[in-house]
Structure 1
Amino acid sequence: MSLVSDQTPAGGAAQERRPIVYVLDDDESMRLALSSLFRSIGLHVETFESSQTFLSFPKGETPSCLVLDVRLRGESGLAFQEELARSCLRMPIVFITGHGDIAMTVKAMKAGAVDFLAKPFRDQDMIDAVSNALTRDAERLAAEQSIASLCAAYDLLTPREREVMEFVVTGMLNKQIASELNLSEITVKIHRGQVMRKMGARSVADLVRKAEALRAKPQLSKPHFMDASKQR
């Protein structure tokens, strides 16, 4: 096995957060050529000759993408793409091949590949494809981090504050919420203020957007998000 590692220098969070390009190709000359190309534009590169070595390599929460040969020794790059999807490793993939056809390209793209480049490809085409993939992954990570922050904020709400939040995002006024919960209007106003503060909401419209974002990602939020009303 030939494994080229561009080790991150010790110290410095900025270095650790550098985008990473993983190259999976059983052709050593291609691995070396791509490693040289990506390093020439300042990217961190890790190369692998088999899917097993790639899967066993530790991966962090940093923007990354995989440049994957569609035909590996003894295995299919397309089948490996499916394996990655099943394992929830959502890294963008740029396929490269010397034997591509239209049907293969369509299958790869439908499965989520960012690009499909036939060998020999222009260096600029590869750089453009990888840049696009890294941008997509950075956006995905930012979205996931945003949702995680919302979930953490929601966890800070008391059961009563969650009830109030549920009614606020439906557009109910304080006096209407007070009637529903058998509370005084001033108490509702206090709970509402706490909800806005803890959720970091600038307005009711902002709170509604945050609530919708949480509902759209149930795996990252409470199993019964805003379900308090069903328990009354």
Structure 2
Amino acid sequence: MNQEPSMGYSPASLTPVRPVVFAASKDSAWLSRVGQAANAEGYRFQTSPSITSLVNQAATTEEIACIFLDYDPRMQQWSSIEQLLFEKNVAAPVVLVLDETSGMSASEAVARIAHVVAFNSMETHEIVDSVRDAVALSNLVTHQFDVLRCHRLYQTLPERQRKIVDFVVEGAPNKQIATKLKVSVKTIERERQKAYRHLNVRSTAEMTRVVILGGLHDVIFPVARSRNSLVDRRIDQRSLEPTKSSNLSPTTSMMPSMNPSSVPTNTYGSI
């Protein structure tokens, strides 16, 4: 049975807005099959030959079902695509499309951006399964982006503001914080307001949420490791055993590692 796509509503007309399946590929036959799969699930379909332009389109789209991106062996830094998705606030499941010869060369791309792996030899009904697998991960992908956003905001706080925020989250009043840091209460109030603005929050409860999610970063995000297979993952290396995968099925679901310290900031060209 087909899943009913979640519908947003246009403020002007209150009519349902169908989510969009995006696909970046230069293979017209593949795009045709993806389009058929999207239509079969009740989604709109948009394409682009360039990953960069497609991400820019997705950034202005209210409802995204998922994004199909072709694996390109000429692309050396998939971290730049990971960074672009984050900077454009495109929190959508990514289906990375491989061909049968990609093999281990695609491991970095899979680790960086793939939530679901598919193959360009798949038929339309198999692509429908990929769409469903990706959409099923939407809430988790949104949560991961939220965790990463909070982590980066928290880590970029000035040292004194971070100390104040930590004390506030622990429940310490301004007077007690001022005593511990040997500054005036006025200074604590001023720095606390600066921290609120930096974290884009309006209350202590919202600030606490940012700090807690920011601190969960290393637990939430998986770590990609190469062994004798394309992907080998563990969600929390402190408590879970690694999951081995000797072969990728036509549709393989996975969550990518998004490590803020390893993502460079650079200029993106069309791919």
SS at match of 2:57: coil
Q: Deviations over 1:155-191 (max 9, x none)?
A: xxxxxx998654333454677446446879xx9xx99
For 1:41-190, list aligned pairs within 5 A.
41-48=41-48, 50-51=49-50, 54-55=53-54, 58-59=57-58, 60=60, 62=62, 63-70=64-71, 77-80=72-75, 85-87=79-81, 88-90=83-85, 92-141=93-142, 144=145, 165-170=165-170, 172=172, 176-177=176-177, 179-180=179-180
- The two structures, once aligned, show a CA RMSD in angstroms of 4.9
Give unpaired runs (5+ residues) of structure 2: 1-8, 86-91, 154-160, 196-200, 218-259, 261-271
- Tell me, in whole angstroms, the C-alpha distance in 2 between the residues paired with 1:69 and 1:162: 41
Q: What is the letter of the counterpart of residue 84 of structure 2? A: L
Larger RCO, structure (CA 8 Å, separation 6 or more): 2
SS at match of 1:68: strand
Deviation at 1:36, TM superposition (A): 1.5
- Tell me, in whole angstroms, the C-alpha distance in 2 between the residues paired with 1:64 and 1:79: 27
The 1:83–1:13 alpha-carbon spacing in structure 2 relative to 1, beyond 3 Å, is farther
Q: What is aligned with 2:37?
A: 37
- Tell me, in whole angstroms, the C-alpha distance in 2 between the residues paired with 1:119 and 1:169: 49
The 1:12–1:42 alpha-carbon spacing in structure 2 relative to 1, beyond 3 Å, is farther
Q: What is aligned with 1:228?
A: none
- Tell me, in whole angstroms, the C-alpha distance in 1 between the residues paired with 2:127 and 2:93: 14
Q: Check conservation: 1:100, 1:118, Cα contact below 8 A.
A: no
- Tell me, in whole angstroms, the C-alpha distance in 2 between the residues paired with 1:36 and 1:78: 27
The 1:138–1:13 alpha-carbon spacing in structure 2 relative to 1, beyond 3 Å, is farther
- Tell me, in whole angstroms, the C-alpha distance in 1 between the residues paired with 2:207 and 2:11: 41
Deviation at 1:115, TM superposition (A): 3.2
Count of aligned residue pairs for this structure pair: 183
Q: Check conservation: 1:19, 1:134, Cα contact below 8 A.
A: no
SS at match of 1:132: helix
Structure with higher helix content: 1
- Tell me, in whole angstroms, the C-alpha distance in 2 between the residues paired with 1:167 and 1:42: 49
- For the pair shown, the structure with the greater C-alpha radius of gyration is 1
Picking from 180, 199, 204, the partner of 2:203 is: 199
The 1:183–1:55 alpha-carbon spacing in structure 2 relative to 1, beyond 3 Å, is closer
Deviation at 1:38, TM superposition (A): 0.8
Q: Deviations over 1:9-45 (max 9, x none)?
A: 99557745x4322222323232222202211111121
The 1:24–1:10 alpha-carbon spacing in structure 2 relative to 1, beyond 3 Å, is farther
- Tell me, in whole angstroms, the C-alpha distance in 2 between the residues paired with 1:200 and 1:143: 22
SS at match of 1:121: coil
Identity of aligned residues (%): 18
- Tell me, in whole angstroms, the C-alpha distance in 2 between the residues paired with 1:97 and 1:69: 7
Q: What is the letter of the counterpart of residue 34 of structure 1? A: V
Q: Deviations over 1:95-124 (max 9, x none)?
A: 334443432453442333233333432544
